[in-house]
């Protein structure tokens, strides 16, 4: 009985102290106000212009920021402010490496529809040169859903199909958190990705389970934090423009 009485007394005292503390906080708003660290000032871009702290990877004039995945200069076709896949020349990759990032990229499938399924307007955006966000014309085009537009290829089905008609420009805004590896080479924290397609959320902090091979299951192999962004040559004349990135 004495123990129970003591426990009850302690509970009453604790609740009383908590109540008094809450009242003190309510009477002192400054105790919950922070003044550091101060966020950096970033000027938003107007229209198609990137934010002031963005790295412009392609402004429509040249591919100076890119190399061919086969080595040497990137040889995709540059015309009318966009870069178009030149089938058979191979993909292109950035000269610089990137890890955690915000990536803005605009793409367009051919206006002349040829093929179906995976053979229609196919390309891809590879983060850290190995994790693919699918680019595909899925406007009235049926294919396997973990390989359709905006999928993490062969892994994660997009939440929606937000495709525009063939020949119209489309936008991906990607927030990417790179994987972390332990000293023994095992993945400690997997990669995560959020994607807006034409303003529609299609991947919501999705976990990437490893590489995105055409055949086989995903798996992680340790790699450096800074790796290139690469764009795929899948044989279809997909075009890209207005590509910029913010390192996070």
Alpha carbon distances (Å) from 96 to 59, 129, 172, 226, 247: 16, 11, 20, 8, 12
Collapsing DSSP states into helix, strand and coil, what is residue 108? Answer: strand
> What does the pLDDT read at residue 48?
85
The whole-model pTM stands at 0.88
Q: What pLDDT is recorded for position 9?
A: 57
Average pLDDT over residues 214-231: 97
Q: Please tell me the predicted confidence (pLDDT) of residue 1.
A: 47
Enter the tokens of residue 74: 């990137």
H or E segment to which residue 137 belongs? none
Q: What percent of the chain has pLDDT over 90?
A: 86
């Amino acid at each position: 009985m004495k123990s129970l009485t003591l426990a009850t007394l302690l509970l009453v005292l604790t609740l009383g102290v908590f109540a008094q503390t809450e009242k003190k906080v309510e009477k002192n708003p400054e105790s919950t106000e922070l003044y550091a660290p101060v966020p950096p000032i970033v000027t938003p871009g107007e229209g198609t212009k990137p934010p002031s702290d963005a790295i412009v990877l392609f402004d429509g004039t040249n591919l100076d920021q890119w190399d061919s995945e086969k080595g040497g200069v990137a040889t995709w076709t540059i015309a009318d402010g966009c870069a178009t896949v030149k089938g058979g020349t191979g993909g292109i990759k950035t000269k610089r490496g990137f890890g955690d990032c915000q990536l803005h990229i605009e793409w367009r499938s051919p206006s002349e529809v040829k093929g179906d399924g995976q053979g229609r307007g196919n390309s891809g955006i590879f983060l850290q040169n190995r994790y693919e966000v699918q680019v595909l014309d899925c406007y009235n085009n049926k294919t396997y859903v973990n390989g359709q537009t905006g999928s993490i290829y062969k892994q994660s089905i997009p939440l929606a199909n937000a495709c525009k008609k063939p020949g119209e420009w489309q936008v991906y805004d990607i927030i990417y958190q790179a994987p972390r590896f332990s000293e023994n080479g095992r993945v400690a924290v997997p990669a995560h990705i959020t994607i807006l397609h034409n303003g529609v959320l299609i991947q919501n902090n999705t976990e990437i389970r490893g590489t995105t091979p055409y055949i086989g299951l995903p798996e992680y192999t340790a790699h450096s934090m800074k790796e290139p962004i690469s764009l795929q040559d899948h044989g279809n004349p997909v075009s890209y423009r207005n590509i910029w990135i913010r390192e996070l």
